[in-house]
Amino acid sequence: MSFRLSQRDKDIIGFINQFRAVDRDSLVELFFKQLKSPINACNSVMIRLYRLGLIERTQQYSPTVYLPVDAKIKKNSQKILHFLSILDVYKQMCTYSTPKQVIVEDKPTGRKGGIEPDLFCIFKGSPFWIEIQRNQYSEQKMQAKINLYEEFFFSDEWKSLHWQPGERASIFPSVILITPLRYAVHS
């Protein structure tokens, strides 16, 4: 059986691989909203991609959430809600301007125990690291997170990250913490 993927099919698969968990309504909003019946169009494309084995899905959520084929995420994992929160922040940013060079779960230090922002992007020309906390953390844990960013800043390692503007002075990203409550952290 031969089949051809459209550019939109490839874009959707790439987007799901990038964000790790994407709900049907987000796909409608990002890829189908210009069509006459966007939900029906999205559903038929997603069923086809699923049957071809190019994406996974979990019906634990309504609407359906789609996952990469090689996702190391259990279909009932709490991590899915975390990835959907990251996607939601991305979509909110898109209402102003589409972020560039988006990296979900960036690991700029390349080592465990370093900073691991949920989202890196260049937004309106400026770099951002965004941490999204869905659960309540202790003040100490939040302060430890801030301290890791400070350590990374003073290490100067960030000056050689691939997205830095080579010819101009290096820029340390703005760090945004999105949390359900306010923490008395200092920097």
Q: Which residue has the tokens 């949920």?
A: 118
CATH number at 97-178? 3.40.1350
Q: State phi, psi for 91 to the nearest 5 degrees.
A: -65, -40
Produce one character per residue of 124-147: b if its CB has 16 or more CB atoms within 10 Å, e if not.
eeebbbbbbbeeebeeeebbebbe
The SS3 call for residue 101 is strand
pLDDT of residue 122: 96
pLDDT of residue 50: 97
What is the assigned CATH class of domain 7-67? mainly alpha
Please state the domain extents for the chain.
Answer: 7-67, 97-178
pLDDT tens figures, 66-121: 999 987 888 888 899 999 999 999 999 999 999 999 999 999 988 888 899 999 99
pLDDT < 70 stretches in the chain: 1-3
pLDDT of residue 95: 94
pLDDT of residue 2: 53
Does the global pTM surpass 0.95? no
